Amino acid sequence: MRILVHGGAGRIEPEWEEAVLSGVKRARDAGWAVLASGGSALEAAVEAVRVLEDDPAFNAGTGSALNRQGFVEMDAAVMIGEGLRFGGVAAVRDVKNPILLAREVMDSEHILLSGEGASLFARERGIPRHPPEALVTERALARWQRIRRQGGRTSGTVGAVALDAQGRLAAATSTGGIVDKRVGRVGDTPLVGAGTYAEAGLGAASATGEGEFLARALVAYRAVTALKTRSPEKAADEALALARELGGQGGLILLAADGSFAAVHTSPQMSHAWRGPEGEGAGLA
């Protein structure tokens, strides 16, 4: 069994380091508790991401980045290795936990729902409307105002990959996307193989960083596929190197079917935490 989570690539402001580190540890522990009580890799990854979405220290759920018109639009996805099953939501505005909605999409006839359609589907599945303004935090507002004043490109995402006692693999990713993005912009997170990917017997990956480049490099799929011949670290490094060649920074957590794993980034930092049979770890670099 193993759980590995990330809290996003980028530069973490020093005053937020403690909150971010304790946040990824809390999410890791929540995911591990699910695995330890016999839960599936999917349940564990979703629970870890749900905890991160509810933590305002991260760019997902509450605390998400604001778009060009000053409101939140979130992307999220889940994938399991068995049957390559996938569910995602894009540019959704009024749910508290997009990852729970993505989970529902996986159990529908579709793989990806966006905007108003995703909201309608949420109500159908009993997920209540969450006031969009309740997702906006002071920190996200200040960051948006700063980017609008000074320019720059800031993203951040949360994600988890898990391996359960039955050897099943799952990946889950959630994000508010790039700060000051155009309304309707969708990044790598909810695209199969771009920000989120899992394949039975091989591995699971969740990406973070500049979505346009990560998606063109299909980093999650590329890294998982490379596990056929590479160590997790090498596989993740090579996938991110392609995104960097294209012009984008990012990070990746990658978990192989044998439990080996890597947390790598080309961005200045990437918060992450993991737990497995041999112990646990966490870091900001």
Would you count residue 211 as binding ligand GLY (CB under 6 A)?
yes
Give the chain's count of helices (H) and strands (E): 8, 12
137 catalytic residue (yes or no): no
Residues 157, 173, 196, 208: which is the catalytic one?
157
Cβ at position 280, least distance to ligand GLY in Å: 26
Q: Indicate which single residue of 81, 177, 232, 251 sits in contact with ligand GLY (rule: CB under 6 A).
A: 177
Binding residues for ligand GLY, rule CB under 6 A, total 14
Rounded Cα distance, 232 and 257, in Å: 10
Q: Indicate which single residue of 189, 267, 269, 271 sits in contact with ligand GLY (rule: CB under 6 A).
A: 189
Angle, in degrees to the nearest 10, between helices 17-36 and 41-53: 150
Decide whether 35 or 264 has the Cβ nearer to ligand GLY: 264
Rounded Cα distance, 1 and 258, in Å: 9
Would you count residue 157 as binding ligand GLY (CB under 6 A)?
yes
DSSP string, 96-152: S-HHHHHHHHHTSS-SEEEHHHHHHHHHHTT-----GGGG--HHHHHHHHHHHHH--
Q: Indicate which single residue of 40, 64, 119, 175 sits in contact with ligand GLY (rule: CB under 6 A).
A: 175
Would you count residue 159 as binding ligand GLY (CB under 6 A)?
no
Would you count residue 209 as binding ligand GLY (CB under 6 A)?
yes
Cβ at position 124, least distance to ligand GLY in Å: 26
Amino acid found at 236: A
Place of tokens 């529902």: 104
Residue 23's closest CA among 54, 63, 61, 67? 54
Q: Identify residues 136-155 at the interface with ligand GLY (CB under 6 A).
A: 155
By annotation, the residues acting in catalysis are: 157
User: Which residues would be at the binding site for ligand GLY (CB under 6 A)?
Assistant: 155, 157, 175, 177-178, 187-189, 195, 208-211, 214
